[in-house]
Amino acid sequence: MSELSKARIPDAPAIQRLPLLQLILVGLQHVLLMYGGAIAVPLIIGQAAGLSREEIAFLINADLLVAGIATIVQSLGIGPMGIRMPVMMGASFAAVGSMVAMAGMPGIGLQGIFGATIAAGFFGMLIAPFMSKVVRFFPPLVTGTVITSIGLSLFPVAVNWAGGGAAAAQFGSPVYLAIAALVLATILLIHRFMRGFWVNISVLIGMCLGYVLCGALGMVDLSGMANAPWVQFVTPLHFGLPKFELAPILSMCLVVVIIFVESTGMFLALGKITGEEVCPRRLRRGLMCDAAASFFAGFFNTFTHSSFAQNIGLVQMTGVRCRSVTIVAGGLLIVLSLLPKAAFLVASIPPAVLGGAAIAMFGMVAATGIKILQEADIGDRRNQLLVAVSIGMGLIPVVRPEFFAHLPVWMSPITHSGIAMATLSALVLNLLFNILGGAERAAINDCHAHPH
């Protein structure tokens, strides 16, 4: 085989020629599912920085623009970037704790956050080729454990949404539960009794029914929509020139490493679902896109970006695995960033509607992990211990977020991420049990196979 063919990027899934209406509807599902997470980060940071409602709206539009562009690059593959699989991108929660602290620091503020984001994105592009070589440390045992943990760590989000939202005055009200149940039941019934196109848009149908019911019950809040402009363009460096301070930059560089760890698990999960091999070269392209999106985001008034785990469940549940869908979804995000009224309308979807859909989709992520674990030697007691401890470590930040509150602040991007905790635990234990202990295990197995 020639060197040229060795260096070739593996074939990506074809950009299928689906009917335009179907592409738009399935792409819209992806947007609706990730929209809440996409706008949450700029909302939290904007409030921490004391911005006005108009400035926070600008931050949200900036985030939608960068998320849309990054999604298209990640799915389509442009130059040396993009994993060329159905991936949705958005602002990462891994950096929220650090950025809230920066927002209140004298002399740092938003400009310091943007400077740290730019520097961390550049750092990420430098280390992506090295991080991509860790694929060999992700056998099915580790991959299955990580993917199961991703689903389990997302599940509290689904439950909070289904109960009406974490900030709901009457959390768990029968009305919220009924709406979530309607959405979930609609999705399940479509999967049971219908086929093809209807299954592909089952989540959208369920959410539309839930939204209509919420509108009839007066639960859709559109106040302030009339004041939003029809068109608004995102301008770079809107809040002034970025500031580059050492401490915030170091903190954000650590965040980028954690994002890479999380993204590696997500890319491997998506590879299993779509039947695509995620080799080191392909992983490098995906991580490069994550880092470049963060670098670009700092100039366009937004924050570190990463791949969104919740959309993996949608790919698995609907069976639509072509990247053309997320390319269209990226285009929809860009359109929403330019049309504040449309973005406002999407943001008005009540949490209970999202919750009904999320229970099924996040559960599907965990189910994918369990399926992958079947490929591993799960009958081995050490491997069982690896899975048990790693999933337990991943659930610590989910069950008690304050568990690690007394540890150094610089560790918070790791200790507050269930995905990062589970991934690091699985990698270390696999190294201890199966790689460093490989010779010892082989000898034990040989003893059992040939007793004296």
Residue in the block written with tokens 């029914």: 209
User: Is residue 346 scored above 60 in pLDDT?
Assistant: yes
User: Is residue 92 scored above 50 in pLDDT?
Assistant: yes
Question: Quick one: which H or E segment has residue 90?
Answer: strand 89-91
Residue 445, pLDDT score? 53
Residue 4, pLDDT score? 36
Mean of the pLDDT values across residues 350-356? 86
Phi, psi angle pair for 152, to nearest 5°: -65, -35
Residue 440, pLDDT score? 54
Contacts of 192 (CB under 8 A, 6+ apart): none
Which residues in 307-321 are b (16+ Cβ under 10 Å) and which e?
bbbbbbbbbbbbebb
User: Is residue 119 scored above 80 in pLDDT?
Assistant: yes
Residue 1, pLDDT score? 39
Mean of the pLDDT values across residues 75-103? 83
The fraction of the chain above a pLDDT of 90, given in percent, is 21
Residue 17, pLDDT score? 63
What is the DSSP annotation of 190-255? HHHH--THHHHTHHHHHHHHHHHHHHHTT----TTGGGS-S-----TTTT-S----HHHHHHHHHH
* Tokens found for residue 218: 């007066």
Give the number of other CB atoms < 10 A from CB of residue 83: 30
User: Is residue 2 scored above 60 in pLDDT?
Assistant: no
pTM of the model: 0.74
Q: Which of 5-14, 214-223, 340-349, 443-452 has the highest mean pLDDT?
A: 214-223
Q: What is the pLDDT of residues 412-432, one digit of tens each?
A: 767 777 877 888 899 899 999
Q: Which of 35-49, 256-270, 309-323 has the highest mean pLDDT?
A: 256-270
Contacts of 134 (CB under 8 A, 6+ apart): 264, 427
CB 352 within 8 A of CB 214: yes
Chain mean position to CA 324: 19
Mean of the pLDDT values across residues 304-320? 79
